[in-house]
Amino acid sequence: MDFSSKLLENAVYEMSQLPGIGKRTALRLVLHLLKQPEERTNLLSEALTDLRAKVNFCKSCHNISDTEICEICSNHKRDKSLVCVVEDIRDVMAIESTSQYNGLYHVLGGKISPMEGIGPQDLSIVSLVNRVKEGEVKELIFALSSTMEGDTTNFYIYKQLEGLDVTTSTIARGIAVGDELEYADEVTLGRSILNRIPFENSIKAS
Ligand SMILES: [Zn+2]
């Protein structure tokens, strides 16, 4: 791509670093922003700068939160004996939108993937095990995507929990293998949490 301006080239380059944004889309977005009133672009850059500078993760579940402990964790109406283990914040949003789940969450921040160089130490697994050791959690629901990495992660956590007084279950899969939770429709996802199965059964099945 031949750019008539170094400024334009830089902006397009930065935009194209986003996932799913190729050079052509990046150029279209940058030109679009340029046509908008300057104020709009400023609001966008301020929102991003602010987010980056002030973002906070819940000390308990690692969800993005404006407070030290997020609204879900600090809500007294939620069942604190139930913790749903998810890969990222989008899964929390997807499950919340079903209105079928009243427990808490634990956001791992990814899944174990030797191919991508992500090991257990890169995820919030230690803090999950510590939460269980504190004693209030009675059941962990694994809700990772059912890929090989998801299964590996579930199993790794399951092994870490050996000897602890906690039940493990996995969401029932109305969802096709490899599908991401965020794309599952709300009814299916809600049902799959309600119809969860003991984790031991899911290991035997596979
Ligand atoms: Zn929280």
- pLDDT, tens digit (0-9, with 9 covering 90-100), for 175-192: 554 456 666 677 778 888
> Which of 3.40.190.10, 3.40.1360.10, 3.20.20.70, 3.40.50.11540 would CATH assign to domain 57-205?
3.40.1360.10
CA pair distance 185, 19, nearest whole angstrom = 23
**Cα Rg, the chain, nearest whole Å:** 20
What's the CA-to-centroid distance between 50 and ligand 1, angstroms? 21
CA pair distance 36, 38, nearest whole angstrom = 6
Ion ligand 1 — residues with CB under 5 Å? 58, 60-61, 63, 70, 73
The pLDDT tens digits of the residues spanning 86-105 come to: 999 999 998 999 898 999 99
Fold for the domain defined by 6-54:
Helicase, Ruva Protein; domain 3 (1.10.8)
Whether the model pTM is above 0.85: no
What's the CA-to-centroid distance between 58 and ligand 1, angstroms? 5
What's the CA-to-centroid distance between 67 and ligand 1, angstroms? 9
The pLDDT tens digits of the residues spanning 148-160 come to: 899 999 999 999 9
What's the CA-to-centroid distance between 106 and ligand 1, angstroms? 8
Torsion angle, CA of 37/38/43/45, rounded to 10 degrees?
130
Q: Name the E strands within the chain.
A: 56-57, 64-65, 79-86, 103-107, 139-142, 167-170, 197-198
Q: Which two tokens stand for residue 43?
A: 């609001």
Domain boundaries, the chain: 6-54, 57-205
What's the CA-to-centroid distance between 20 and ligand 1, angstroms? 29
